[in-house]
Amino acid sequence: MKPTELRELSDEELKDKDQELKDQLFKLKFQHALGQLENAMKLKNIKRDRARIKTILIERERGKEEE
């Protein structure tokens, strides 16, 4: 997902999305360990998306603290 798309979501939606990605990442890591993963780039992309979500949540937290 693009950062602009993620910024349009609410905090709760971002947390839900992060949980979904966490579950997907677990499944993909399991497939990778068994040698059944076809596209290893999926792991990288999911990790990036989770990092983007966490960054946006932290930015929002810091913005609320300054107010």
- pLDDT grade, residue 65 (50/70/90)? confident
Judge whether residue 40 has pLDDT over 70: yes
The whole-angstrom separation of Cα 55 and Cα 28 is 23
CATH of the domain at 12: 1.10.287.310
Number of domains in the chain: 1
Report the alpha-carbon distance of residue 20 to residue 3 in Å, rounded: 17
- Per-residue confidence band for 67, with pLDDT thresholds at 50, 70 and 90: low
Q: What is the pLDDT of residues 6-35, one digit of tens each?
A: 999 999 999 999 999 999 999 999 999 999
Dist CA 67 CA 60 (whole Å) = 11
Average pLDDT (37-65) is 94
pLDDT band at 66 (very low <50, low <70, confident <90, very high): confident
Q: Is residue 9 part of a domain?
A: yes
Tell me, yes or no, whether 25 lies in a domain. yes
